[in-house]
Amino acid sequence: MTAATEALTPARRLRSIFSGSVGNLVEWYDWYAYSAFAIYFAPHFFPKGDTTAQLLDTAAVFAVGFLMRPVGGWLMGLYADRHGRKAALMLSVLLMCAGSLLIAIAPGYERIGIAAPALLVFARLLQGLSVGGEYGTSATYLSEMAHSQQRGFWSSFQYVTLVMGQLLALALLVILQRALLSEEQLHDWGWRIPFVFGALCAVTALYLRRGMQETESFAIARRSEGPRGSLRVLLQHPREVLTVVGLTLGGTLSFYTFTTYPQKFLVNTSGFSKADATLVSAASLLVFMLLQPLVGALSDRVGRRPILIAFGVLGTLSTYTILSGIAGATSVWSAFAWVMTGLVIVSGYTSINAVVKAELFPAHIRALGVGLPYALTVSLFGGTAEYVALWFKQVGHESWFYWYVTACVGVSLSVYVLMRDTRDHSRIDRDATEPAGDIDVSQVALPPDRAC
């Protein structure tokens, strides 16, 4: 028994999982606060002009942050595999804190000119790096820290906190709008409040993460004489990398289709008011968040693969019908029912995708293996979901987007059918006995300090 195992009591294990989850919540709150409050701070950072132009500039900065996520998945994954999950998670939340604080205190365009949007871009780059690195590292940490018989349940809290961060940003916006500040105050200075709040929460998360235990899997990998994590070593696991891409493709597109796009879809296509669309989105997200641990716990009993296949089959057969139902909804309740149906199905992916990816890779390359291919796939498919949907609508073929989502889920279904069940073939469970697993002598001989 290792020293790490002796020190890891049930209470310490639970405290570490809680600290990792709270940090994830803060990260995603800060990420979503940008888009939630963009309409108020856009005139502050860009030259005077029409509101649409300012919002487009702000959206472009948001996109830059999104494109930084693969870079964050790469750099933070390398750092986590070489220096520890705890160290990477602390660095991740520190970057998010710096980005939020910079937005909160940045002078406006009228005072410093072009330097104002430059500061906003820099802050968003920091946040993009942070969020990009957070996913792979926190997925790895929660999966390694959880007991093998409850790994699906505990790792599902990654998406619980992700959605909770989104709801927290939305709730703060509603409170400031309706209870505390006038419209003029929000435009003048009130938009800074959520970023100050986010920075303070990040400091709290940093403090909590200081008390986290390092995982036994990393401790074993660090003591072994196997190769250190690098992009070169990752590419020696092509099957696992392609599996991550394939199982993420349909899942991330469905996730963004039913979580972030419905608010605009209900207004532009279904004819709902903005207030009713926001209500439907918030209510469905709340229920969706509560579903994650239930489905995660189910995967601990029946396996990961049956849950993924259920998502793939139901998503392929019903996505067109569900999106058509949302488009034709005539009441808030019917719209909620259709959106919620989509989210129930998507839960088969979101609740367990983190643990499935973590269980694919050996410890010395796990954080990078989970984070980088995931971030690339999300940027290409999840991040473009809204744009593709609006483009199809603009050219007069909105229903083609329904088929596009269906086809992507179908591709992922083929991966689920062909892959092994990671619950029964988990690399995490083999860490203690096979720390270097499937690595050749030639791979061990790579000069790790000079690897990319």
Q: Which one of 176, 200, 225 terminates a domain?
A: 225
Q: Which of 120-129, 148-157, 231-240, 329-338 has the highest mean pLDDT?
A: 329-338
Residue 133 · residue 371 · CB < 8 Å: yes
pLDDT value at residue 126: 85
Q: What is the average per-residue pLDDT within 82-94?
A: 85
Rounded Cα distance, 17 and 147, in Å: 11
Residue 287 structural domain? 230-427
**pLDDT tier, 212 (very low <50, low <70, confident <90, very high otherwise):** confident
Question: Is residue 318 pLDDT above 80, yes or no?
Answer: yes
**Pair (248, 216) in one structural domain:** no
Residue 323 · residue 401 · CB < 8 Å: yes
Q: In which region does residue 16 sit, left (phi positive, over 0), alpha (psi from -120 to 50) or beta (all else)?
A: alpha
Is residue 452, in this structure, part of any structural domain at all?
no
**Pair (132, 159) in one structural domain:** yes
pLDDT value at residue 449: 39
Is residue 444, in this structure, part of any structural domain at all?
no
DSSP string, 22-87: HHHHHHHHHHHHHHHTHHHHHHHHS-SS-HHHHHHHHHHHHHHHHHTHHHHHHHHHHHHHHH-HHH
C-alpha 295 chain-centroid distance? 18
**Pair (74, 180) in one structural domain:** yes
Is residue 435, in this structure, part of any structural domain at all?
no
Q: What is the average per-residue pLDDT within 300-323?
A: 94
**Pair (181, 248) in one structural domain:** no
Is residue 73, in this structure, part of any structural domain at all?
yes
Is residue 145, in this structure, part of any structural domain at all?
yes
User: Closest Cα to residue 193, out of 208, 204, 177, 206?
Assistant: 177
Helix, coil or strand: residue 359: coil
- Which of 121-125, 189-193, 439-443 is least confident? 439-443
**Pair (136, 168) in one structural domain:** yes
**Pair (186, 53) in one structural domain:** yes
Residue 337 buriedness (CB in 10 A; 0-12 / 13-18 / 19+): middle
**pLDDT tier, 294 (very low <50, low <70, confident <90, very high otherwise):** very high
**Pair (203, 238) in one structural domain:** no
For residue 343, give the CATH number of its domain.
1.20.1250.20
Question: Is residue 162 pLDDT above 70, yes or no?
Answer: yes
**Pair (29, 108) in one structural domain:** yes
Q: What is the average per-residue pLDDT within 267-291?
A: 85
Q: Which one of 184, 204, 225 terminates a domain?
A: 225
**Pair (382, 299) in one structural domain:** yes
Residue 76 · residue 133 · CB < 8 Å: yes
Kindly compute the dihedral angle of the four CA atoms of residues 28, 33, 38, 42, in this order, to the nearest 10 degrees: -100
Is residue 84, in this structure, part of any structural domain at all?
yes
pLDDT value at residue 378: 86
- The pTM of this model reads 0.81
Select the more confidently predicted residue: 383 or 411.
411
Q: Which one of 225, 245, 261 terminates a domain?
A: 225
**pLDDT tier, 33 (very low <50, low <70, confident <90, very high otherwise):** confident
**Pair (270, 393) in one structural domain:** yes
Question: For the chain, what is the domain count?
Answer: 2
Rounded Cα distance, 28 and 144, in Å: 22
Give 60-76 pLDDT, tens digit per residue: 666 666 678 888 888 88
**Pair (141, 289) in one structural domain:** no
Rounded Cα distance, 342 and 402, in Å: 12
Tokens of residue 261, six digits: 């796009």
**Mean pLDDT over the full length of the chain:** 81
Select the more confidently predicted residue: 339 or 147.
339
Is residue 393, in this structure, part of any structural domain at all?
yes
**Pair (292, 354) in one structural domain:** yes
pLDDT value at residue 93: 84
Give 93-114 pLDDT, tens digit per residue: 888 888 888 888 888 877 888 7
Is residue 248, in this structure, part of any structural domain at all?
yes
Q: Which of 126-130, 261-265, 326-330 has the highest mean pLDDT?
A: 326-330
